[in-house]
Chain A
Amino acid sequence: MTETEQPTQAGQAAAPSAEGAGATVDEATSQAVARLGATRDEVVVEVLSRGGARPVPGEYLTSTQARVRVSLIDQHTARGRQLLAGLLEKMEIPARVSVRRGTSPRAGETEAPMILEVSGDDLGLLIGWRGETLRALQTTLNLMMGDEEAEGISRRLILDVERYRARREEQVRELAQRLADRVKASGERYTLDPMHAYERRIIHLTLQDDPGVRTESSGQEPARRVVIHPTGPAQGGPTARPDRGRGRW
């Protein structure tokens, strides 16, 4: 291998990896992939630094380099990627499929799951209303992989299109924090609108270490909702105001 070979991190699968640097993430990835002696289809890209502003012609701008680490992906994920690329081709939707590692592990697991990421132009139709088509695509792909519930959640592949899921997760985390502040200030519980299981899970995880609130899900699917309860009396403060309605949720 090369001089850039990295010692594997504790708790991570021992996949060969290499780092690369460049003006953009794309250039850094090209370099890292070349150093690993692999192709882009065979690696997961971890962005260590996105790099600063690109230099503008005629001006001086200090810009930091983009840095990435690429690691060879496991066979299961590689097969999923290939199958998804084949499916998109049959759908006649020009798009690329890349692999990235998620930000947080699922329940009962130590490692963050791999996410198959679809990118391209005008892919809204692959996302659908509130992500419905994205979920259908994910269900279909996992069915095609031959993974039913019996094999456990850990082998289920997760899909994202144009970072929809990533953006949505961020929104839900922010919402959870905002509502927790409100619940603590008012001392009154708050019931959210119905959400999908994975979104409810984000709320529970976001607030699990906040001693001021506790969360639970109630009701039956598909109308199951998260309720945020205060654990103490109202603390007051600027957010202690009457509920102005449920807003978007």
Chain B
Amino acid sequence: MTDYADLTRFITEHIVANKSAVNVSAVPRGRTTIVEVSVADEDMGKVIGKGGRNIEAIRAVVRAAGLRKHERVQVELADGGRHA
């Protein structure tokens, strides 16, 4: 199985300024793998992007990795409700 948490961490660590604050974990939810990502507050804007453009791109890339194995993967950014 593709290591979706590792893939997501690889992408996120290249984007943020504060690498040590990046936390990624993969948890199964039904037939879907949920990849939970948290980053430092100051990096949130960059990871989300204008209108959510960046986070949507990251989601699409991780989803595409799952498509090959017919696995559903969903990236969720832990945001403490601030960016709902």
Q: A92-B65, A143-B54 are in contact. Are A136 and B10 (CB under 8 A)?
A: no
B64 touches A91 (CB 8 A): yes
Q: Which stretch (B18-26, B28-36, B55-63) binds chain A?
A: B55-63
Bin chain B's interface residue count: 20 to 34
Measured between alpha carbons, how far is A83 from B11 in the docked complex, in Å? 10
Measured between alpha carbons, how far is A137 from B11 in the docked complex, in Å? 11
Neighbouring A residues of B10 by C-beta, 8 Å: 86-87, 90
Bin chain A's interface residue count: 20 to 34
Interface check A21, CB cutoff 8 A: no
A140 touches B57 (CB 8 A): yes
A136 touches B14 (CB 8 A): no
Interface check A128, CB cutoff 8 A: yes
Interface centre among B3, B57, B58 (most CB of A within 10 A): B57
Interface check B83, CB cutoff 8 A: no
Neighbouring A residues of B14 by C-beta, 8 Å: 83, 143-146
Neighbouring A residues of B59 by C-beta, 8 Å: 136
Measured between alpha carbons, how far is A135 from B59 in the docked complex, in Å? 12
Min CB distance, B18 to chain A, in Å? 14
Neighbouring B residues of A144 by C-beta, 8 Å: 11, 14-15
Interface check A234, CB cutoff 8 A: no
Neighbouring A residues of B69 by C-beta, 8 Å: 92
Nearest B residue to A83 via CB reads: B14
Interface check A202, CB cutoff 8 A: no
Interface check A132, CB cutoff 8 A: yes
Min CB distance, B74 to chain A, in Å? 15
Min CB distance, B5 to chain A, in Å? 10
Q: Per a CB cutoff under 8 Å, which of B6, B57, B64, B65 touches A139?
A: B57
22 contacts between A and B (CB under 8 A): A87-B7, A87-B61, A90-B6, A90-B65, A91-B2, A91-B68, A92-B65, A93-B65, A125-B64, A125-B67, A128-B60, A132-B60, A136-B58, A136-B60, A137-B57, A143-B14, A143-B15, A143-B54, A143-B58, A145-B14, A146-B14, A148-B46
Interface residues in chain A, defined as those with a beta carbon under 8 Å from any beta carbon in chain B: 83, 86-87, 90-93, 125-126, 128, 132-133, 135-137, 139-140, 143-146, 148
